[in-house]
Amino acid sequence: MDTKLMGQALVKFLMGLLIMGILLFLPAGTFAWREAWLLLGILFIPMFIAGLIMMRKSPELLRSRLNAKEEEGEQKTVIALSAFMFLAAFITAGLNFRFGWVILPGWVPYAAAAVFLLAYILFAEVLRENTWLSRTVEVQEGQKVVDTGLYGIVRHPMYMATVFLFLSMPLVLGSAISFAVMLLYIPIIAKRIRNEEQVLEEGLAGYREYKKRVRYRMIPFVW
C-alpha cells in the first residue's frame, strides 16, 4: 500500500472535516446542532470508506483526484463561484440555526439525508464506470469515450449526482435560505458542462458522435 498516498488522502480528509466544522458550528455559535452532525456523518463517513476502497482498488484514480489542478481559465471561474456559493450556504445555515429565521419541519433533514445517500451511491457508480473521471476538465492520455451504463442515459451522470448531493445538503441542515443559495449551483454547473464539452469535442476521439447518440446532458428528456 502506498503510504505517501494514504497520508496525503488522510490530511485532505481531516482538513475538509475541520473546515466544514468551522463553517457550520462557528456561525451557529454552538456544537449542539443535531442536523450539522447528521450532515458531517453522511458526508464524511461514506467519503472515508470510498477513499479506502479507491486506495485498495484504484490508487491512480485516487491520486489523480487528490492532485487535480484546474488549467482551464473558464473552469477556474467556475471553481471560484462554487467556493463562494458553499461558503455563503454553510455560513447562512449556521446563522439560520442560531437566530431561527426559517424553521423547516423536523422530517425534512432526514428525508434530505436519504436523498443525499442515494446520490452518493449514484456518484460511486459513476466513479466505477469511468476510470478516467477527473476533478479537472482535461483529456487524459489513452482516454476513451465511456458510453455504457449511466453514460448511455446522460452525458454527465457525475454532475447529475452532484446536483442532488449539493441541493440536499442545506435541507439536511434544515435551512431553506441556504437551499436558495445552493440553487446557484445549477447555472454554475451548466457553465462548466458547456466548457467541458468544448474541450472533449476538440481532444477526445469519438465524443462528437457520442453527443449525437446520447442527447441529454444531465436530465433525461429535459436537458
Q: Over the stretch 138-196, which tens digit does the pLDDT of each residue have?
A: 666 667 888 888 999 999 999 999 999 999 999 999 999 999 999 999 999 998 899 88
In a domain, 164, yes or no: yes
What's the one-letter identity of residue 141?
E
Range of the domain at 161: 3-213
Band of pLDDT at residue 36, cut at 50, 70 and 90: very high
70 pLDDT above the threshold of 80: no
Q: Over the stretch 125-146, which tens digit does the pLDDT of each residue have?
A: 988 887 766 555 566 666 788 8
Count of structural domains within the chain = 1
Could you tell me the pTM of the whole model?
A: 0.90
In a domain, 25, yes or no: yes
Residue in the structure block whose three cell numbers are 451557529: 28
The rounded distance, in Å, linking the Cα atoms of 223 and 220 is 7
Q: Alpha carbon of 41 to those of 113, 138, 169, 190, 216: distances in Å?
A: 10, 32, 12, 29, 33
In a domain, 218, yes or no: no
Q: Which region, left, alpha or beta, applies to residue 221 given φ > 0 means left and ψ of -120 to 50 means alpha?
A: left
In a domain, 219, yes or no: no
In a domain, 125, yes or no: yes
